[in-house]
Amino acid sequence: MALLNDLSGREFIHWPLAVKAMIWITLFLFILICGYFLMWSGTIDNYNRSVNREESLKVTLKQKLRVSQGKKELQVQIQKINESFGELLKLLPTNASIENLIYDINQVGSSKGIIVKTIEGMGIQQKEYFAKIPAKIAFRTNFNELGRFVEDLSKLPRIVTLENFEIKRATNETSNAQIDVIVNANTYRSIERQSR
Q: How far apart are CA 94 and CA 157, in angstroms?
A: 13
Q: How far apart are CA 161 and CA 134, in angstroms?
A: 9
Q: How far apart are CA 97 and CA 86, in angstroms?
A: 19
In a domain, 110, yes or no: yes
Number of structural domains the chain divides into: 1
CB 191 within 8 A of CB 130: yes
CB 187 within 8 A of CB 98: yes
In a domain, 20, yes or no: no
Structural domain including 177 reads: 95-195
In a domain, 79, yes or no: no
State the virtual CA torsion across 171, 172, 176, 177 in degrees, nearest 10: -80
In a domain, 63, yes or no: no
- Report the CATH number that the domain containing residue 118 is assigned in CATH: 3.30.70.60
In a domain, 5, yes or no: no
In a domain, 61, yes or no: no
In a domain, 179, yes or no: yes
In the chain, which ranges are continuous DSSP H helix? 2-8, 17-35, 41-91, 95-111, 143-154, 191-195
Q: For the chain, report the end-to-end CA distance as a whole number of angstroms.
A: 112
Which helix (H) or strand (E) segment holds residue 173: the answer is none
In a domain, 70, yes or no: no
What is the predicted pLDDT for the residue at 35?
79
**Chunked in runs of 10, what are the mean pLDDT values of the chain (196 residues)?**
56 78 91 80 82 92 85 86 79 64 78 80 78 85 85 82 86 72 84 50
DSSP assignment, residue 179?
E
